[in-house]
A and B are shown apart, each in its own frame.
Chain A
Amino acid sequence: MHKFANPARFLRISRLITPWCFILTLVSLVVGLYWGLFVAPEDYQMGSAYRIIFVHVPAAHMSEICYGFMAVVSVVAIIWKHPLADQSARAAAPIGAAFTALALLTGSLWGKPMWGTFWIWDARLTSELLLLFLYFGYMAVWEAIDDRVQAARIAAVVALVGAINLPIIKFSVNWWNTLHQPASLLKSGGSGMHPDMLWPLLISILAFYLYFVTVLLWRIQTLIIRRQIRGLQMRLADEKNKKGLN
Chain B
Amino acid sequence: MGEYAIFVWPSYAAVIVIMIAVGFISWKNKNRSEKKLTDLQSKFDNMNKQE
Minimum CB–CB distance for B35 against chain A, Å:
10
Cβ-defined contact, B33 with A226, below 8 A? yes
Residues 37-55 of chain A: 1 if any B CB is under 8 Å from the residue's CB, otherwise 0?
1000000000111011001
- What is the chain B residue whose CB lies nearest that of A214? B23
Report if A106-B41 is in contact (Cβ < 8 Å); known contacts: A47-B2, A94-B22, A112-B7.
no
Q: Is A89 an interface residue (CB 8 A)?
A: no
Q: Evaluate contact between B43 and A236: CB separation under 8 angstroms.
A: yes
Classify chain B: how many residues form its interface, as a range: 20 to 34
Is A71 among interface residues, defined by CB-CB distance under 8 A? no
**Contact partner of B30 among A112, A113, A222, CB < 8 A?**
A222
CB distance from A159 to the nearest CB of B (A): 19
B17 to chain A, nearest CB (A): 10
**Any chain B CB within 8 A of the CB of A158?**
no
Known: A102-B14, A215-B22, A225-B33. A51 touches B44 (CB 8 A): no
B29 to chain A: closest residue by CB: A222
Q: Are B40 and A47 in contact (CB under 8 A)?
A: no
A118 to chain B, nearest CB (A): 10
Stretch in A127-135, A162-170, A227-235 touching the partner: A227-235
Q: Is the CB of A232 within 8 A of B37?
A: yes
B window 1-51: CB within 8 A of A: 1-5, 7-8, 10-12, 14-16, 18-19, 22-23, 26-27, 29-30, 33-34, 36-37, 40-41, 43-44, 47
B residues adjacent to A (C-beta < 8 A): 1-5, 7-8, 10-12, 14-16, 18-19, 22-23, 26-27, 29-30, 33-34, 36-37, 40-41, 43-44, 47
